[in-house]
Amino acid sequence: MAEAESEAWRVVVRGRTPDAASADPESGDVTPVAGPAAKIPLKPPHPRHNLNSIRPKHPPKDKNTIVLPGTDVSGDLADISTGRATWQPESNTYEVNGRSYKVESSGTVFPVSGPGLVNLNRYEYRALQQLIGADGNVSAAREALRRDPNVGDSEVTMALEVFRHHKSYRGEP
């Protein structure tokens, strides 16, 4: 099993050639890799998407998709690179294991939606950054967020729901 995972990761890192295909070991069927993964090596999402890698200085985007701990993004990338994902050309997304991913022209993959992924707006992400920056001190983070006119109770509530999965979460006082 470890050998198969290692080979899958090598495929993700090296990428695929235009004639790339994967064989289904049970049926022997060959599935061509569709979309950008057929032509360029895939790169993992930027750390700003990984909940436990978010830093207070990462600039928030209008839309931010957060990967919760335990979500197997590297396995999803391996599945995409070996043809075990569904390419949706109308939306330029790959669908695999119930999750959707897009690929930038550089080959960098970013999560869109699905189990283990949470979508936050700019202000919810900013509140999450404050919670992370307070190193688990929810009271201190809430106090600091009171000074931001763009971050209200609903943004803090959403950020707190996500923060509960962060490695520094210690509970609420």
Asked if the structure places residue 173 within a domain, the reply is no
Q: 44 and 77 in contact (C-beta within 8 Å)?
A: yes
Q: What is the per-residue pLDDT for 11?
A: 45
In a domain, 56, yes or no: yes
- Would you say residue 172 lies in a domain? no
So what's the pLDDT on residue 43?
Answer: 96
For range 86-101, the mean pLDDT: 96
- pLDDT score for 40: 92
For residue 20, pLDDT beyond 50: no
Q: Domain for residue 170, yes or no?
A: no
- pLDDT band, residue 173 (cuts 50/70/90): low
Q: Determine what percent of the chain is predicted with pLDDT higher than 90.
A: 66
Average pLDDT, stretch 155-170?
Answer: 93
Q: Is the pLDDT of residue 135 over 90?
A: no
Total structural domains within the chain: 1
Report if residue 169 sits inside a domain: no
**Is residue 159 domain-resident?**
yes
Question: In the prediction, which pLDDT does 77 show?
Answer: 97
Structural domain of 89: 2-163
The answer on pLDDT for 170 being more than 90 is: no
pLDDT tens-place string over residues 95-108: 999 999 999 999 99
More confident residue, 43 or 1: 43
21: nearest Cα among 76, 65, 81: 81
Of the candidate ranges 21-30, 78-87, 92-101, the one whose mean pLDDT is the lowest: 21-30
Domain annotation covers residue 145: yes
The one-letter amino acid code at 54 reads I
Q: What is the mean pLDDT of the chain?
A: 85
| Within-domain flag for 112 | yes
pTM for this prediction: 0.79
Confidence of residue 26 (pLDDT cuts 50, 70, 90): low
